[in-house]
């Protein structure tokens, strides 16, 4: 398990999350949006998201696990 911080600009919020480092971005985004929808009473239907890494200055690949991309605890991301 690793801890990451995800900034969601439209909500002006940041979420500290503990995730399985073997999860792919595609699966993580599905879980993240479901959590945010239920907690903040918003809808992300028909929305497509990506995750930008502040540390890397690039987007995370959606079909490779977080550990497969060398992502470790403490990294910060922005949902775009």
Indicate which CATH number applies to the domain containing 13.
3.10.20.90
Q: How many CA atoms lie within 13 A of 7 on its CB side?
A: 10
The pLDDT value recorded for residue 5 is 97
Q: Would you state the pLDDT for residue 76?
A: 97
- Is there a contact between 40 and 11 (Cβ–Cβ < 8 Å)? yes
Q: Which domain holds residue 72?
A: 2-79
Number of domains in the chain: 1
Query: What does DSSP assign to residue 33?
Result: H
Mean pLDDT by 10 residues, the chain (80 residues): 95 93 94 89 86 96 94 96
φ/ψ (deg, to 5) at 67: -65, -35
pTM for the predicted model, two decimal places:
0.87
Nearest to 16 by CA among 3, 2, 35, 28: 3
């Amino acid at each position: 398990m690793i801890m990451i911080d995800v900034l969601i600009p439209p909500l002006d919020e940041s979420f500290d999350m503990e995730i399985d480092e073997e999860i792919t971005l595609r699966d993580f985004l599905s879980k993240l949006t479901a959590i945010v929808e239920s907690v903040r009473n918003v809808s992300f239907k028909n929305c497509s998201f990506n995750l930008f890494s502040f540390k890397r200055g690039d987007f995370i690949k959606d079909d490779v696990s977080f550990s497969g991309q060398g992502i470790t605890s403490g990294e910060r991301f922005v949902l775009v």
